[in-house]
Amino acid sequence: MHQDPSRAVPSPDAARLLDIHHRASPPTWRTAAPAVVFVLGMALAFTPLLRGIEPVVLAVTAVVVLVVAWWGNRAPGTRPNSYDPLRPDAVAADGTRPRATVVTVAAFLPYPAFALATALPGWLGLPEWWGWVVGVVVTIVIAAVLLRPGTQNPDYRRPAELYRLHPGYRPADDAEQLAAVLHALHACPAGVQVTRDRLRDAAGFGDDDHLDAALAALTASGDAAVLVERRSNGTRET
């Protein structure tokens, strides 16, 4: 009798990798929080009671969206994979997911969005309520942008999808195990970089020798890279 792979119980290795990925992914409510704040801010800006102070409302909305996005996407031990090692790293030990650029752009879109929503009806000779229609449409579009997943690599396949197709997966050696852990942590182009300490904890190797050997194998094959930062108080390796 043929068993449907999607219903098979994942192997201990696959289950552990799924757990690593789950823990490395922000909860849905944290991902949605910036979009919710943005929608509420836009709604307040369109409220007749606040007419005349719309720029203040939008400025506060932008600041709150950025703060909420930073807090919701905090991922200690990681940083966006667009990081340039030649620049100072102000958030070395407390990175954020690479969605930060999208959030930063979207946070400042209320200004042109509000201007468009209030000016377009007058330009086209339309009733004033058309401004609400435009504002709602623009708000929905920007909120959808804010809800995009953290890893922006179109080739990234989530572990849940992979191990549903291959529930009996077992890594062949330490290098393959480390590669699978990096994948589960979103360590890929347009994903994140992982500090050595975070990787050591997630990989679960018994000692640094196994970690070093696995890293050497992955870097030799071109599947990973190790960055070493030299600082006045020592070095930091990722």
Number of domains in the chain: 2
| Within-domain flag for 4 | no
Choose the final residue of a domain: 146, 180, 196: 146
Residues 186 and 232 in one domain: yes
| Within-domain flag for 167 | yes
Contact 44, 82 (CB under 8 A): no
Question: What stretches of 25-153 show up as alpha helix (H) in DSSP?
Answer: 28-45, 54-72, 100-107, 110-124, 129-146
Q: Show the domain range for 167.
A: 12-22+156-237
Which pLDDT band, with edges at 50, 70 and 90, does 104 fall under? low
| Within-domain flag for 151 | no
Residues 134 and 206 in one domain: no
Range with top average pLDDT, 50-59, 141-150, 160-169, 187-196: 160-169
Residues 17 and 30 in one domain: no
Write down the residue that tokens 């506060």 correspond to: 60
Residues 167 and 213 in one domain: yes
**236: which strand partners?**
229
Residues 58 and 101 in one domain: yes
Residues 53-90: pLDDT tens digits?
A: 777 877 788 788 878 877 776 667 777 666 555 444 44
pLDDT at 148: 61
Count Cβ atoms below 10 Å from residue 70 Cβ, excluding itself: 17
| Within-domain flag for 208 | yes
| Within-domain flag for 95 | yes
In this structure, the chain runs to a length of 238
